[in-house]
Amino acid sequence: MPLLSADKLTKSFGGLTAVSDASMDIEKGELVGLIGPNGAGKTTFFNILTGVYAPTSGSIKLEVDGTVKDITGFKPYNITKSGVARTFQNIRLFKDLTVLDNIRIAMHQNIKYSLPSAFLRSNNFYYEEERLVKEAEELLDIFNLTDKKNELAKNLPYGEQRHLEIVRAMATRPVLLLLDEPAAGMNPMETDNLTKTIAKIREEFNLTILLIEHDMSLVMKICQRIYVLDYGTMIAEGSPSEIKNSKRVIEAYLGEDVRYA
Amino acid sequence: MNQFLQQLVNGISLGSIYALVALGYTMVYGIIKLINFAHGDVYMVGAYVGFAVTTYAGIGFIPALIISMLSCALLGIVIEKVAYKPLRNSARIAILITAIGVSLLLEYVMMYFVGAEVRSYPKLLDDSVLKFGNIIINIQQIYIVFTAIALMLLLQFVVKNTKIGKAMRAVSADRDAAQLMGIRVDSTISFTFAIGSALAGAGGVLVGIYYNSIDPLMGMMPGLKAFVAAVFGGIGSIPGAMIGGLSIGILETLVSGYGNSMYRDAAVFAFLIIILILKPSGILGKNTKEKV
Amino acid sequence: MNSMKVINKKNILILIVIIVFYAVAQALINNGTINNFYEITLATICINIILAVSLNLVTGFTGQFSLGHAGFMSIGAYVGALINMEMNSTLGFLVGILAGAVAAAIVGILIGIPTLRLKGDYLAIATLGMAEIIRVVFLNMDDITNGAAGLNGIPRFTNWMWLFIFTALTIILISNFVRSSHGRACISIREDEIAAESMGINTTMYKVMAFAIGAFFAGIAGALYSSYFYFIKPNIFGFMKSIDILVIVVFGGMGSITGSVIAAVVLAVLTTFLQSYSELRMIIYALLLIVIMIFRPQGLMGTKEITDLFKIVKKNEKNQ
């Protein structure tokens, strides 16, 4: 049973169909990539998976603890609660809050104290808050962000901000992590760090990852399987070498009658 | 039926005034995405300028109208340059709060200098009535509707057929692109405020003549109602403001006539909330969603 | 293992500080230093602190711009006054406060659910409209509220003790909420609503929750007001009152409870001095709004609290 099963997703905005009958299966523990030329509908597809858009038709199913849950049309916060976390193409950190607070907010859905406890500051409240800080600090430590924990998110260098976004998504304890162009705007050294971070995530947390990327070398290097979207439809799916040599994919990117050197 | 037609007549003349004020809201919103809270008070200032020149200088209707419009245009430009321009790149809430501040400032400065009492316009226009069966139309109402229509036609002409009008439309669509095309954004924005404020001033004079009483706080309610009109018609759309203005005017007089006149203000607000929930882009406006 | 036990070291410490503060002020009242005239100012300060801190929760911490806070105050005032007048006892007074607050909160939820999906300017006008509708409804419920003439002869039970208790409660409860995970959820909505949703936070629920909590405390303020000033009428709770509260919040800093407290004190004193010059006071308020937004939009305290200032002082001492 695949962890995530997107079945014939279609999204139309009035007369424009951005995504049409797009299907995708992701097995547990996989690192899958989604590529396609600009405007192919990758972010729209992502937004459907994460509940920002409800699909015009089609379904999304998530395997949670052995049972299959239909998460089609769920609101974004419910999708995250079900175990699917995401990062954003244009970083959406809480810029004026500290690194620690960014993480603590992501952990909110897992706290175990009620509203009255918050108002009255019971012993349970203090205990849970301490636990929260400890777990957040542990997470930051794994990703070498400990010394920046009290720094405002906006003061971090770009590469670290992107890192923080990934760490923050992980703090929601997902089973599936969706990364929207995590390498955008990164120089080769930063991209290398990103590759190491993704590897660490898979190693230590056994997370399943789906990523959208334009950086072909990154995608080819780390993804086990790749889906290709063009004009809203999935035109190919396979291993990196299969995709690299697929005529259909090359045509999509470069137009017809072009030879791939 | 007669009662209905009578209310319709009253509603159209009231609505013409709302339309004039609504145009200012919609143009300013279109160009800098701000609900100019102070707009209703510019209308009030227009009424007072008209009052001052007709009462103390014995000037007639049309010259008073023009002087009031010019004064308000100037006031609009000053307000924009002093209070709104510095905040053009700030958070939306900041400029909204400032607009509330400007509104209060205009109201209470006026109150401080001229007192809170109600003033009356001198008799400027013929106030005889025409009778069509049981329906009474006051000549002044005709003046109001015609003046409003004339000004709105003038505005349409400026927006569609002049260079500055084209610049206004461009800056509304995409400020940065307009700037890159060589359009002087600051002047265009100033001009927009000037026109919007001038129209509001005209509305103020017309109200002063017809309803005969003006006071420093007269701008608040009509301002808010004109805003509802602009939203209903589709904020950012000039024809929308005109339609919206007329609609709100008619709605108000119908509620007043058939229901409880005390509820008429609440009715307009209830109407606003319903529009905002059901179709926030209004009749002629367009939908814009935030990109994720 | 870990309970809902509220009696712990930190809470006891806070309680002691509060009692000391109260005792000092009560002594000043008893020996006449704070005479009748200043007592009115003190009452105004307390009521405004409750109003400002509750509005700050909605507008400053959760980022939902509400111009209708006075509407909730009026619900608390009327419900509180009516129960108070009916029962004419301290118990009646307290029941009135609770009922007024709950009524305001319920209306807050009802209003919040449809309108909180709006943003910025539109939300502001919608909340303004809601408060106006409430005002008009009260104006027209002649048999219950006595319409425009207002309610007279409301028994006075509000005194320094009750004012202090409710003000302290408001500050403590709201400040506890804000510095909890639920409060952080609200803050995240202010910072970036879309990102907050992606963190698993039900933003609609939290916006409505903040709105309802704000309305609850505004209701308390309204009930206290009605039992102090003997007389209420719908027009007291109009747009101008909402603006008054907004000025306090903006001046003190949207996102700072300490700021709201300080601003409430400063502005109440200012209002007392300018009693005979009400237009001048409004002109000053108007200029305050404009100048603050242009030159110091974070107001007095920004998003800092008094405890943050202590930390900075400590850090400087350490470095020396």
DSSP C232: B
B288 pLDDT tier (thresholds 50, 70, 90)? low
C121 vs B34: CB contact, 8 Å cut-off? yes
Domain assignment present for B239: no
The single residue listed with the structure tokens 């950012």 is B236
Domain assignment present for C143: yes
Domain assignment present for C173: yes
Q: What is the mean pLDDT of residues C121-138?
A: 91
Between CA B16 and CA B9 the distance in angstroms is 11
Partners of residue C243 in chain B, C-beta under 8 Å: 100, 104
Beta strands in chain C (DSSP E): none
Q: Tell me the DSSP string of A204-226.
A: HH--EEEEE-S-HHHHHHH-SEE
A79 pLDDT tier (thresholds 50, 70, 90)? very high
Question: Is the pLDDT confidence value at B289 over 70?
Answer: no
Domain assignment present for A17: yes
A118 vs C194: CB contact, 8 Å cut-off? no
DSSP A7: E
C199 vs A132: CB contact, 8 Å cut-off? no
Question: Is the pLDDT confidence value at B139 over 60?
Answer: yes
Q: What is the pLDDT of residues C207-242, one digit of tens each?
A: 999 999 999 999 999 999 999 998 999 999 998 899
Return the axis-axis angle of helices C69-87 and C239-252, rounded to nearest 10°. Answer: 120
C294 vs B83: CB contact, 8 Å cut-off? yes
What is the predicted pLDDT for the residue at A257? 54
**Subunits with at least 3 CB pairs below 8 A relative to chain B?**
A, C
C306 pLDDT tier (thresholds 50, 70, 90)? confident
Q: How many domains does chain C have?
A: 1
Distance from CA of C115 to the nearest CA of A (A): 19
CA C38 to chain centre: 21
Give the largest CA-CA distance in chain C. 69
End-to-end CA distance of chain B: 53
Q: Are A9 and A60 in contact (CB under 8 A)?
A: yes
Tokens of A156: 């971090």
Distances (CA, A) of B75 to A4, B56, B64, B65, B230: 61, 21, 16, 15, 21
Tokens of B97: 């709060």
Domain assignment present for B127: yes
Tokens of A50: 């994460």
Instruction: Give the B:C interface size as CB pairs under 8 Å.
Output: 112
Question: Is the pLDDT confidence value at A256 over 60?
Answer: no
Domain assignment present for A86: no
Could you tell me the residue range of the domain that residue B61 belongs to?
9-219
Return the axis-axis angle of helices C203-226 and C69-87, rounded to nearest 10°. Answer: 50
The single residue listed with the structure tokens 């209310």 is B7
Q: What is the pLDDT of residues C138-166, one digit of tens each?
A: 988 888 888 888 888 888 988 888 999 99
**Subunits with at least 3 CB pairs below 8 A relative to chain C?**
A, B
Question: Is the pLDDT confidence value at C66 over 70?
Answer: yes
A261 pLDDT tier (thresholds 50, 70, 90)? very low
Cα-trace Rg, chain C: 20
SS (H, E, C) chain B: CHHHHHHHHHHHHHHHHHHHHHHHHHHHHHHHCCCCCCHHHHHHHHHHHHHHHHHHCCCCHHHHHHHHHHHHHHHHHHHHHHHHHHHCCCCHHHHHHHHHHHHHHHHHHHHHHHCCCCEECCCCCCCCEEEECCEEEEHHHHHHHHHHHHHHHHHHHHHHHCHHHHHHHHHHHCHHHHHHCCCCHHHHHHHHHHHHHHHHHHHHHHHHHHHCEECCCCCHHHHHHHHHHHHHHCCCCHHHHHHHHHHHHHHHHHHHHHCCHHHHHHHHHHHHHHHHHHCCCCCCCCCCCCCC
Between CA B276 and CA A166 the distance in angstroms is 36
B276 pLDDT tier (thresholds 50, 70, 90)? confident
Q: Are A228 and A235 in contact (CB under 8 A)?
A: yes
A77 vs C11: CB contact, 8 Å cut-off? no
CATH number at residue A23: 3.40.50.300
Q: What is the mean pLDDT of residues A167-183?
A: 93
Identify the residue among C1, C2, C3, C177 best suited for mutation to test binding to A, counting A beta carbons within 10 A and taking the highest: C2
What is the predicted pLDDT for the residue at B284? 82
Question: Is the pLDDT confidence value at B127 over 60?
Answer: yes
Domain assignment present for C106: yes
- Which one, of A5, A65, A59, A61, lies nearest residue A30 by Cα? A5
Of the candidates B93, B98, B262, the beta carbon closest to that of C120 is on B93
C1 pLDDT tier (thresholds 50, 70, 90)? very low
What is the predicted pLDDT for the residue at C12? 79
Q: Are C53 and C198 in contact (CB under 8 A)?
A: no
Of the candidates A105, A117, A123, the beta carbon closest to that of C188 is on A105
Domain assignment present for A220: yes
Q: Is A91 on the interface with B (CB under 8 A)?
A: no
Q: Tell me the DSSP string of C252-291.
A: H-TT-HHHHHHHHHHHHHHHHHTTT-HHHHHHHHHHHHHH
Total-model pTM? 0.90
Question: Is the pLDDT confidence value at B278 over 90?
Answer: no
Task: For chain C, list residues whose CB is within 8 angstroms of any CB belonging to chain A.
Answer: 2-6, 8, 10-11, 173, 176-177, 180-185, 187-188, 191-192, 194-203, 303
Question: Is the pLDDT confidence value at B275 over 50?
Answer: yes
**Paired strand residues for A98:** A152
Of the candidates C2, C181, C199, the beta carbon closest to that of A172 is on C199
What is the predicted pLDDT for the residue at C198? 93
Show the CA angle centred on residue A80, arms to residues A77 and A84, nearest 5°: 150
Local structure of A165: helix, strand or coil: helix
The single residue listed with the structure tokens 């609440």 is B266
Distances (CA, A) of A108 to A163, A178, C186, C228: 20, 19, 11, 41
Question: Is the pLDDT confidence value at A220 over 80?
Answer: yes
What is the predicted pLDDT for the residue at B137? 84
Question: Is the pLDDT confidence value at A185 over 90?
Answer: no
CA C171 to chain centre: 9
Beta-carbon contacts of residue B174 (< 8 Å; ≥ 6 apart): none
Percent above pLDDT 70 for chain A: 97
Between CA A250 and CA C87 the distance in angstroms is 83
Q: Is A47 on the interface with B (CB under 8 A)?
A: yes
Tokens of B18: 């709302």
Q: Are C253 and C302 in contact (CB under 8 A)?
A: yes
Number of other CB atoms surrounding residue C35 within 10 Å: 10
What does the CA dihedral A62, A68, A74, A79 come to, rounded to 10 degrees?
-40
Local structure of C184: helix, strand or coil: helix
Domain assignment present for A192: yes
Sign of CA dihedral A65, A69, A75, A79: positive
Tokens of A29: 């523990």
The single residue listed with the structure tokens 């005002």 is C135
- Which one, of A214, A239, A212, A237, lies nearest residue A224 by Cα? A239
What is the predicted pLDDT for the residue at B286? 67
Could you tell me the residue range of the domain that residue C115 belongs to?
47-237
What is the predicted pLDDT for the residue at B116? 85
Number of other CB atoms surrounding residue A192 within 10 Å: 13
Could you tell me the residue range of the domain that residue A227 belongs to?
1-42+51-64+175-207+214-261
Domain assignment present for B196: yes
Question: Is the pLDDT confidence value at B266 over 70?
Answer: yes
**Paired strand residues for B236:** none
What is the predicted pLDDT for the residue at C202? 94
Between CA A137 and CA A107 the distance in angstroms is 12
Q: What is the pLDDT of residues B85-126, one digit of tens each?
A: 999 888 888 999 999 999 999 999 999 998 888 888 887 777
Q: Are B88 and B34 in contact (CB under 8 A)?
A: no
The single residue listed with the structure tokens 């307000």 is B79
Q: What is the mean pLDDT of residues A169-192?
A: 91
Q: How many domains does chain B have?
A: 1
Tokens of B116: 């809170």
Partners of residue B292 in chain A, C-beta under 8 Å: 43, 47, 52, 88
Q: Is A88 on the interface with B (CB under 8 A)?
A: yes
Domain assignment present for B275: no
Beginning with the edge strand found earlier in the chain, give each strand of the sheet holding A84-86 in spatial order. A84-86, A176-180, A208-212, A31-35, A225-230, A233-238
